[in-house]
Amino acid sequence: MLKKGDDAMDIFIPSVPHLVHIETTYACNQSCRFCYNPNRNMKIDRTTIDNIVKSIFEAWIPHVYLIGGEPSLLGAEKLNEYIELLSQRSSVTIVTNGQVYLEGLSDKLACIGIPMHGIGETHDFLAGKSGSFETAIKSVNLYVERGFDVRCIPVLTKTNFNQMYDVIGLAKKLGMESVFVDRYEDGGIGSLRSLELKPSLEQFRIALGQMIKGRDDFGIPVGWGTAIPFCLDERLITENMFADCGAGITFCAVNPKGEVRLCNQSERVYGNVLSEPMNEIWHKPELSEFRDLGWVEKPCLGCVVLSDCMCGCKVDANHSETFCIDYAVRENGSFCKPNPTTCAHEESDIPRELRRFKLNKYMRLNSQHKEKYLVTQYQTIILDDIALSMMQQILSGVTCEDALISINAEFVDSDEVRKFVSVLRQVGAIDIIKE
């Protein structure tokens, strides 16, 4: 995504954002204490949301999240219209509080995100609604029974920092597919309770320890859903728990009026998808003031992992119309020094036997942009010419490694073909057929 030149940081900007959050409404049936929304009184404008969804569909965005506010207030029938349309070109996720079970939800949905902010009363306290915890559990059970991938998405605060292990254990018990924790960010309605909600550095580190232990003890994927500065704790790197949100580089948000911002926290608007195509908004010169990194300050300025970490969360209530380094970096003075050589993901193992495979149902090949995208349930991968050719061969009916090796023998070494198949399996583009 990012590469360091001789004199400056060069940022590769894709033709369109890889992920777009569509905020379908700011209306909500809960009163979460940390809510990033600017208000909960906006009425649902279904015609406007219809047009926003159509615009995002026309932009061939790889991944789309339908969020709120609370998207379940639109009802299953309307959401299914969006899912059926968008899923033709995108991997689609819905983020909901689980207070309304959406009967008959389309099985073309890639994922449902539902939060468990703590156990029992802790969840209810943070959600601002008595009985919310039990209602959410009932919804999770129903969605899991129907075969949906359901992700647990707690928000980490001062109140629940020491319950992450229990939340992960509960998610595993309920059959949820993963846990991705959103650290409280200082924005929206929640910014009024910043002192009450913002976890200290020590509380963050305790939560991180519980997340690592929960991942290892319960055997469930665990990570961060929000950007975290790599320097807050060396375990972010050593335990492969680092995360950057990609705001303004591979991600943006569209509010219920169609306005495009770098992220859900930002108040700066760069255009409106109701009057301009997303790809034109995405490449406006005005965005260069963020992408040139001129706003970066010490200690992030000059950091060896800046190109990967990108300063953690770049917007909060104090900088909602501009950019900033993460509040945890601004407010604390002691940090580890991440080693960039440990940030690379390990390659997948290649088995001795040749494999047979089939396409995963969420796999899409997006050839509409300058870059050619392999879109899977949770990831977007840019393909070079050779990878694109092999992917097209698989789409045309090649289902085994020996055939893929034979077809490409003149151009690609067999080990490279096998590595490619391993990567496809790892990112969820194919499923291995067991003999």
pLDDT-derived band at 347 (thresholds 50, 70, 90) equals low
The span from the CA of 263 to the CA of 282, in Å, is 13
Please compute the mean of the pLDDT values over residues 67-73 and round it to a whole number. Answer: 96
pLDDT-derived band at 348 (thresholds 50, 70, 90) equals low
- 6 contact partners, CB below 8 Å, separation of at least 6: none
pLDDT value of position 341: 63
Query: Do residues 243 and 229 make contact, with C-beta atoms less than 8 angstroms apart?
Result: no
Closest C-alpha to 428, from 366, 378, 354: 378
Predicted TM-score (pTM) of the model is 0.93
Cα-based distances in Å from 133 to 115, 271, 333 = 9, 38, 37
The span from the CA of 325 to the CA of 361, in Å, is 39
305 vs 7, more confident: 305
The model's pLDDT over 151-200, given as tens digits with 9 standing for 90+, comes to: 999 999 999 999 999 999 999 999 999 999 999 998 889 999 999 999 99
pLDDT value of position 302: 86
Q: Say yes or no to pLDDT of 3 above 60.
A: no
Q: Say yes or no to pLDDT of 262 above 80.
A: yes
pLDDT value of position 420: 95
Per-position DSSP letters for 375-429, written without gaps between them: E-SS-EEEE-HHHHHHHHHHHTT--BHHHHHHHTTTTS-HHHHHHHHHHHHHHTS
Per-position DSSP letters for 311-329, written without gaps between them: TS----GGGTTS----HHH
The model's pLDDT over 116-150, given as tens digits with 9 standing for 90+, comes to: 999 999 999 999 999 999 999 999 999 999 999 99
pLDDT value of position 331: 87
Q: Say yes or no to pLDDT of 1 above 50.
A: no
pLDDT-derived band at 41 (thresholds 50, 70, 90) equals confident
Query: Do the bridges between strand 178-183 and strand 155-156 make them parallel or antiparallel, or are there none, so unpaired?
Result: parallel
pLDDT-derived band at 28 (thresholds 50, 70, 90) equals very high
Residue 97 exposed, middle or buried by CB count within 10 Å (0-12, 13-18, 19+): buried
Task: Report the chain's mean pLDDT, rounded to a whole number.
Answer: 92
